[in-house]
Amino acid sequence: MSNRLAGCLLLLAISPAATAADYVAIPAGRFVSALAIDGSASRIAIKPFTMRAEPVTNAEYLTFVSKYPQWQRGRVSPLFAGPQYLAAWQGPLILGAAAQQQPVTNVSWFAARAFCANEHARLPSWYEWEYVSAADGTHRDARQDQARNQTLLSAILASNGERPGVIGQHHANFYGLRDLNQLLWEWTGDYAAMFPNADSRVAGGGALLALCGGSALAFEDKNQYALMMRVAALTALKPADDAPRVGFRCVRDLPGK
């Protein structure tokens, strides 16, 4: 095994240094997932955790790759990132037109997981992400608000595949989280058996294909068109893919939970 590959694998398993990020407390709760696994709705119990209030920014990711050069563009192993990795940046350590307070995109699932490990965190599960994204500014679950659903859908349709804008242009939701639904897609840590055929992605990948929020077998709530489009957009991605509208945020487990 090469030194570069060994270094990449090591970062997937350890978390050597924490960074100062704004994590907010998410209380425990139960909700009915919009995903219908095996043809029936799933009532999910969520344990309390903390989540980054905003997606990881270009500036934050620049600090990360400066510290860990094995994750820089041009040096990362092709096993862990594709040819479009950090394509919006002018150079491996130069943001250029990619604004510091824009969410970092063109990052693979492997790279996102390594970043989170570096700050003693992990990627959220799909159900954790779905749980908090159901909120609006005043309600923990606003999924039956048709006006809200149309706003989220319109934001997706208006994006036209362009890179996300600056973070924080929308009000925080009930939990104090920003930009969960309208700015970009976000990786999550597990696929929770939602892939129709995991073997079609990476032979022998099995549980390692803990991918992004998406690829459900069916939706129980057919009114969640924006969520369905998110699922469809992320379904095709492999863990090393790096798409221009896919970023991430991290979560931390609470001690003893």
Cα atoms in the Cβ-side hemisphere of radius 13 Å centred on 111: 36
Rounded to whole angstroms, the Cα distance separating 178 from 182 reads 9
Least confident of 87-96, 185-194, 201-210, 220-229: 201-210
Rounded to whole angstroms, the Cα distance separating 63 from 20 reads 12
**AA letter at 158:** A
**Predicted structure pTM score:** 0.81
CATH number at residue 86: 3.90.1580.10
**Total number of domains constituting the chain:** 1
Tens digits of residue pLDDT in 82-129: 999 999 999 999 999 889 999 999 999 999 999 999 999 999 988 899
Rounded to whole angstroms, the Cα distance separating 206 from 198 reads 7
- At 157, is the pLDDT very low, low, confident or very high (cuts 50, 70, 90)? confident
Tens digits of residue pLDDT in 168-198: 888 899 999 999 887 888 998 874 344 444 4
| For residue 68, pLDDT beyond 90 | yes
Rounded to whole angstroms, the Cα distance separating 33 from 227 reads 11
| For residue 13, pLDDT beyond 60 | no
Q: Which is it for strands 29-37 and 40-46: parallel, antiparallel or unpaired? A: antiparallel
Considering the chain, what percentage of its residues have pLDDT values greater than 70? 70
| For residue 201, pLDDT beyond 90 | no
Element (H or E) spanning 251, and its range? Answer: strand 251-253
Q: State residue 148's pLDDT score.
A: 85
| For residue 231, pLDDT beyond 70 | no
Least confident of 42-46, 83-87, 233-237, 250-254: 233-237
Short-list 75, 80, 67, CA closest to 17:
67
Rounded to whole angstroms, the Cα distance separating 84 from 47 reads 36
Domain membership of residue 176 as a residue range: 3-253
**AA letter at 94:** I
| For residue 202, pLDDT beyond 70 | no
